Amino acid sequence: MADEKGLTQSILVVGGGISGLTTAVEAAEAGREVFIVEKRPYLGGRVAQLNQYFPKLCPPSCGLEINFRRIKQNYRIKLFTMAEVETVSGEEGNFDVTIKLNPRYVNENCTACGECAKVVTSEIPNEYNYNMDKIKAAYLPHDMAFPMRYVIAPEIIGTEEATKAKEACAYDAVDLEMQPETVDLKVAAIVWATGWNPYDANSIENLGFGKVPNVINNVMMERLAAFDGPTGGKIIRPSDGKPVESVAFVQCAGSRDENYMPFCSHICCLASLKQTTYVREQIPDAKVSIFYIDIRALGKYEDFYTKVAADENVSLIKGKVAKVEADPASDQILVEAEDIYGGTKSQAKVDLVVLATGMEPSTATDKVPTDVAYDESGFIVSETPGIYATGCARKPLDVATANRDATGVALKAIQSSVRR
Ligand SMILES: Cc1cc2nc3c(=O)[nH]c(=O)nc-3n(C[C@H](O)[C@H](O)[C@H](O)COP(=O)(O)OP(=O)(O)OC[C@H]3O[C@@H](n4cnc5c(N)ncnc54)[C@H](O)[C@@H]3O)c2cc1C
Ligand code: SF4
Ligand code: SF4
């Protein structure tokens, strides 16, 4: 798409989570051509992996589907999945970008009939469920995936199984000869919307993650409660499938701590309050303990906090957790914390521990391939003309705020395409 001087007016959006999708549809509906580059095989980002999302506690599909429909209806949006930006050069109004497309081994003929998966027996870790279960090596990433198209995992390429998958496909959709490709684009503005990763709880020494059975993090808890999750939505102990009668949430797990992540992720208090409602609705007698330093539920979210806190089966204990360890006398978990209000040490014995880990920007490890500035935690702070960051690539945000941020950035990107 070019202006009257022949200069590009197109916009590149990197990351197809809620922030990137919002910028893309807003800019496209204002008349700009938009390229979305998403590294996973599907759009929706981390929101697609939630069970429900506040404030309304609706399933993620209700917010995402509207955007998918707007994308389908808009010929100005071009979508690249399993893709990443390799190089960026040029300047505001005139960037050259190289995109690498990784092979899906399934083309656009795919009807998602699932016949290829029936003949494949090999399994790979299920990234959608945070590796809590496995998925066939010919797979649809999840039931509501957009685009609704299967993937053949590279792990089986060159094997007899891949050939069987090809033979099972009546639509000539399996293409085992697909190779990585490079696409060159000219764009006027670039929006970096690559979001966040859950902070790696393995690196927190005292909280038992990866060492003590049934200690999980908050993103895993979303999948444990989801109907399409590893347990079909049953909140049970991941280690042995036994019922859960007591849960402890450990707030600020690795957050607001100079040894790990110094900042507050703004969302994980609300996430634990939300997940408390998952437990209490599903298991009527379950007891929930929330260990916190401060509860951060600002603005309109205060009411949600008040409602959850009023539940007599929910205890809020102000105190930093010192230790999470297996109980030597049972198959439960011991959580030891200071009890600031009680002036004592507090100990809970529970079936499941959920670490409320924070949101680390994906740019902490995966940098923009051109010159932009970051803060000490890796969030993009750059005001490089023509390159913008939005959503959780810029700061930890909830969905509603990310939407507003991304809408504003669509305007900024459009301005970059006319400022010359
Ligand atoms: C446990 C938990 C529960 C939450 N629950 C709620 C809730 O109930 N309500 C609410 O409002 N918010 C909730 N949030 C916050 C919510 O998840 C974020 O607001 C939202 O994910 C922000 O979207 P985003 O698009 O900025 O980032 P993301 O969702 O992370 O999307 C980024 C996208 O970019 C892609 N990407 C990453 N790197 C690259 C790359 N190099 N190239 C191409 N693509 C790339 C990713 O694959 C992803 O699709 C929760 C957060 C946590 C931790
Ligand atoms: S690749 Fe073929 S067999 Fe597999 S789901 Fe798609 S159409 Fe069906
Ligand atoms: S939102 Fe709550 S749990 Fe998360 S870092 Fe901030 S205070 Fe800690």
Ligand 3 neighbours (beta carbon < 6 A): 251-252, 255-256, 264-269, 294, 296, 356, 358
Per-residue pLDDT at 308 = 96
Cβ atoms within 10 Å of 345's Cβ, excluding its own: 11
Q: What is the pLDDT of residues 103-158, one digit of tens each?
A: 999 999 999 999 999 999 999 999 999 999 999 999 999 999 999 999 999 999 99
Nearest CA to ligand 3 atom 2: 269
Per-residue pLDDT at 182 = 98
Is the pTM above the cut of 0.75?
yes
Cα(59) to centroid of ligand 1, in Å?
15
169 Cβ closer than 6 Å to some ligand 2 atom: yes
20 Cβ closer than 6 Å to some ligand 1 atom: yes
40 Cβ closer than 6 Å to some ligand 1 atom: yes
Residues β-bridged to residue 253: 357
Per-residue pLDDT at 251 = 98
Per-residue pLDDT at 300 = 82
Q: Could you tell me if 116 and 138 are in contact, meaning their C-beta atoms sit under 8 angstroms apart?
A: yes
Q: Could you tell me if 194 and 363 are in contact, meaning their C-beta atoms sit under 8 angstroms apart?
A: yes
What ranges make up the beta strands (E) of 102-214? 123-125, 134-136, 138-139, 151-152, 181-187, 189-192, 196-198
H/E stretch holding 418: helix 399-418
Cα(208) to centroid of ligand 1, in Å?
25
Q: Which ligand is nearest to the CA of 118?
A: 2
Q: What is the pLDDT of residues 340-367, one digit of tens each?
A: 777 788 899 999 999 999 999 999 999 9
Cβ atoms within 10 Å of 283's Cβ, excluding its own: 20
Q: Which ligand is nearest to the CA of 16?
A: 1
What ligand 1 atom has the least distance to the C-alpha of 48?
Answer: 29
Cα(50) to centroid of ligand 1, in Å?
10
Point out the residues of the chain with pLDDT beneath 50: none
> Residue type at 333?
I
Which tokens hold the place of 153?
């995992």
- To test the pocket of ligand 1, the residue of 22, 47, 64, 84 to mutate (highest count of ligand atoms within 8 Å of its CB) is 47
Nearest to 41 by CA among 151, 116, 138: 151
> Residue type at 270?
L
Determine how β-strand 181-187 pairs with β-strand 94-101: antiparallel
18 Cβ closer than 6 Å to some ligand 1 atom: yes
- The Cα diameter of the chain in Å comes to 77
Cα(98) to centroid of ligand 2, in Å?
30
Q: Which ligand is nearest to the CA of 56?
A: 1
